[in-house]
Structure 1
Amino acid sequence: MAIPYMENAIRSVHKSLDQIIKTAEGLSEDIIRKKPSEEEWSIMQILCHVLEVGPYWMGEIEKIKENPQIKWGRGLNDEARLEAVNTTDSQSVSEVLAGLRSLKTELSGRLEKLDEDTLQIEAESKNPNFGTKPVSFIVDHLIVEHIAKHYGQINRNLSKFHINQ
């Protein structure tokens, strides 16, 4: 059984993923793939990023647990991050949505294994803006809040297309 802190994190991630999935399921393929502008991601790119980002940050947590001396994180030009958002034309919406449903189970299983001692481990980020942070920071900001913010990004896209959810 997960500690209460992790139960809350899992519940929040599930809520955000459920909202993302429900919203995307109700959209046409055209809207999902349409970019609001050249600089902004399409909803499909957002979905693919969410599918990649949760496992990425869980992997970073697991590396920190093994060796707190490593630096964690990545920049905006990380190859896996860019590949997730730049290869969306070759992916089907239904497969990505199925992946997001599976992601709920994957993240739950990995998050519930984190204990109080792990959450308190501190490690230095590659990003100088973060500095040294505990694992709980990664859970709170780079998994829970990050996924929730992408639900908000999807809704901003829809508002630009004059679609209300």
Structure 2
Amino acid sequence: MSEKRVQEYSASIQHTLTQIVQQCNVLSEETIRWKPSEAEWSILQILSHVKEATPYWIHEAKRVIEKPGSEWGRGLQEPNRLAAVANPDALSVSETIAGVEALIGYVRAELSEFSEEQLHIESPHRNFAKFGNKQVSFIIGHFIDEHVAGHLKQIQRNLDKLAKVN
């Protein structure tokens, strides 16, 4: 499979975010807050995570472009990542969905500033430097495009699990 261009990444991410918003806009608050198990996130937590992670990874890609060779990334225990899912009872469903919806324009605007050449700038991940450098296209493709698509599938899995218990 060939590597996507900036515009293709942007369109793909925007499309997936739109699908997430459309799917969640028709769900009840009870469904969005339902947790399949203690170990799994509710749809609300998934939305909150997407809302926090997408700007984080765009910022990381921009940072690599500004300082090629600088380490990028974060660990699973990063405080902002954990805070996004830590207290779902304090989250507003409508505000969280609106925040994900706002990402559509944010992604379009931010990625429009990237050039095709910038996709090839390389830097090491702070946790996996032993694997060598990764291009900006990897950050956008894996940590944003594939990541958001994976969370759309996670939302559907939650809905499938809820349908089995009802």
TM-score norm. by structure 1 comes to 0.92
Matched, 1:136 2:137: yes
What is the deviation of 1:130? 5.6
Structure 2 contact 14–107 (Cα < 8 Å) conserved: no
After the TM superposition, which of the residue ranges 131-140 and 152-161 deviates more from structure 2?
Answer: 131-140
Report the aligned-residue RMSD. 1.5
Tell me the distance in 2 between the aligned counterparts of 1:75 and 1:46.
18
Residues 49-68 of structure 1: pairs in structure 2 closer than 5 A? 49-68=49-68
Structure 2 contact 44–93 (Cα < 8 Å) conserved: yes
Tell me the distance in 2 between the aligned counterparts of 1:41 and 1:24.
15
Matched, 1:158 2:159: yes
What code does the residue aligned with 1:59 have?
Answer: H
Tell me the distance in 2 between the aligned counterparts of 1:98 and 1:31.
17
Deviations along 1:55-106, one digit per CA (max 9) or x if unpaired, are 0001101111121222100111110100011132222111111111111101
Where has structure 1 moved over 4 Å in runs of 4 or more?
A: none
What is the deviation of 1:131? 3.8
After the TM superposition, which of the residue ranges 57-66 and 86-95 deviates more from structure 2?
Answer: 86-95
What is the deviation of 1:127? 2.7
Q: Counterpart of 1:161 in 2: which secondary structure?
A: helix
Identity among equivalent positions (%) equals 44
Equivalent position of 2:123 in the other structure: 123
Structure 1: runs of 5 or more not aligned = none
Structure 2: runs of 5 or more not aligned = none
TM-score norm. by structure 2 comes to 0.91
